[in-house]
Structure 1
Amino acid sequence: MTELSFHPRHVLRAFLRPIDPPLMLLLAALLGFAFLVMMSASPERLPSLQVNTLVALAAMWVAARLPPQRLLSLALPLYALGVLLLVAVDLFGETSKGATRWLNIGVTRIQPSEIMKIAMPLMLAWYFQQREGQIRLREFIVAGLLLVVPVGLIMIQPDLGTSLLVTAAGVYVIFFAGLSWKLIAPVVLIGVVGIGAIVGFGDHLCQPGVDWYGLREYQKHRVCTLLDPTQDPLGKGFHIIQSTIAIGSGGVLGKGWMDGTQTHLAFLPERHTDFIFSVLAEEFGLLGIVVLLVTYLLLILRGFAIAATAPTLASRLLAGAITMIFFTYAFVNMGMVSGILPVVGVPLPFISYGGTALVTLCLGIGILMSIQRSRLLAQA
């Protein structure tokens, strides 16, 4: 009988086999940024950040080992589970700070809306693969309905940031599946007109007593604060004002690691989560921002390269959507902390503190690795 070989070299090779080196290198750079900035912004959270990172990397490795078709086979049950849990949140969820987003399952609390960030693109990629070669308007309508159901349940909670990310994940899949620009253009036009109306008539629309259909009062205040944060500098506008001061005061080279005054004098709110980009900008300046942006750009380019060479329609749609989700996270977070977009609670990808978001994002990296590995195995 031949004995099984457990030589360390063979074990290490088997462990590293599903890992895509360029993606892993870029992820390591971003996580290095996260630890470096967190040591300055909130050092007491470093132990839990280490645990979150290990859990997220384990989830990434498991996803990378699973073949894309196996991942797609989980799409329907994962989507159904996510919708059922969102309904359960609406019926039995725990309310905190005016929002009902958490579900107590006995041993811990979970936020079911996070499941949809992965389940949504998986579900739509699986759906379009089932109809490959016969995708017509009807298929896009059904895909839109599959998207609207969980997004509507998330908005009821309310959670504008998560609903935006889930919507983006679904829309990206639908767009890459071949949605006609004739259908996209009217939506874009309506959005542009709506934004123009808010900017042009902001003084009237932001008056007390003026209701915005479909938005809560605090969401209205976020938009109005974006238009003119100085109207309430110690209240609703405080976050944006302090954030922009921190970003601007960093200059070209920054004030130095752990020397940010806005951060360490506690002027900057939520400096370990939503506004961690402001900490980075203050302490590392424009140079640090450029390095971070280049790292994100390389990550997105690598994701698109994997999507372009993916062997199946579903894997191409999934890889393209996940890559665009990374872009959406970064764009929305940087936009809101710099006063370009309303504050909607979207973290800076791989940098902001938060275990659930980190696990979700690393699962996305793992799915990209799985798709790349399947292509290499197909060519072997």
Structure 2
Amino acid sequence: MPNYELLCFGSNGNGQLGVGHDDDLILPQISFQSAGAGIKKVACGGNHSLLLLEDGSLYWSGENTSGQCDSSGTKRSFNWVRLPGNFLDVACGWEVTVVVDSDGWVRTRGRGDKGELGVPQLKRSDEWMYLFQCVDPGAAQCYATFQHCLVVVPEKIYGWGNNRKLQVCEDSSSKIIDTPTVVYEGDTANTIVALGKDFTCIINKNENRMKLMGPLAKEIPKITSGLPNGVKSIVTADSMWSSLHILNDEKRLISVGRGLHGQFLEGSLPSDVVKFVTGSEHGIIVTKKMEVLCWGWGEHGNCGSLNSKETNHINDKSNVISPINLIGKYDNVSKIFGGCATTWIVLQHEA
């Protein structure tokens, strides 16, 4: 039976790394260990984190001042606290948590001044709000960013939240979408979703179709010019708050948006990249050699130290704008996740 270990570093001012204190980290530290049940997902809000295991158990750490994690009244926790229930997916906005539970219910909680709770005129709830029930719960996936949320179900994608820049839907008369609204229809079986602070990218690889909403929509010609074989050459895509990054089959990143703090990688990625994700303003990759590398805006330590002999885990702000940087080489990196100036590495160990 394999064992799993979650390493993390970066922003930790409210305890959102789950390591027992609130110091920002510049070197990876063990946050969570699991025997048997794999780590399915880490979802990060502005100052809170949710940890979902493969067995459906869900944990939280960090800020809970708006009830975005539980109803205990606890303002914050520096350690992981288990939530009651069984869950299939989780995502976090700035102060909102979105889940799909084992019965297929899409639920939200926390604070959402721009409709992020998905309930008309409701701006805060420290209890779960039940939005709608998915017919095929196992196929549902939820996404969230600063102030808007999406849920993907077979043949449809629902969205809600801040629409001031048309990042949820193209109805310019609706600045706030405060109820789940269909924003995409079609095959969703092989769809990539990437949410930035004020844009949404939906790529349907089966139908060779891209939908980009928000200010970045004007960048579509620049994106497609970097894809000589069309959308089919996209391996994956992910977004930082202010930029979209598409990895093509030549292992080249096509980046559009803002890159003022090192978010746009200079030069090519290593040819043996096997995993790529982004955090709020930084990138993370894993190579076939199980090397983890980061780059981008690392003011909270989330891109690691440039000093290979560094032993102090606490962030000394020595790597604020980071070139591509080797974090470490491991035996088996099963997953990586990026949060709001946080980096997460899941290691799998055979018992």
Mark yes or no: TM-score above 0.5: no
Q: TM-score scaled by structure 1?
A: 0.30
Per the normalisation by structure 2, the TM-score is: 0.32
Point out the structure with max Rg over C-alpha: 1
More RCO (CA 8 Å, sep 6+): 1
Higher helix share: 1
| Greater strand share, structure number | 2
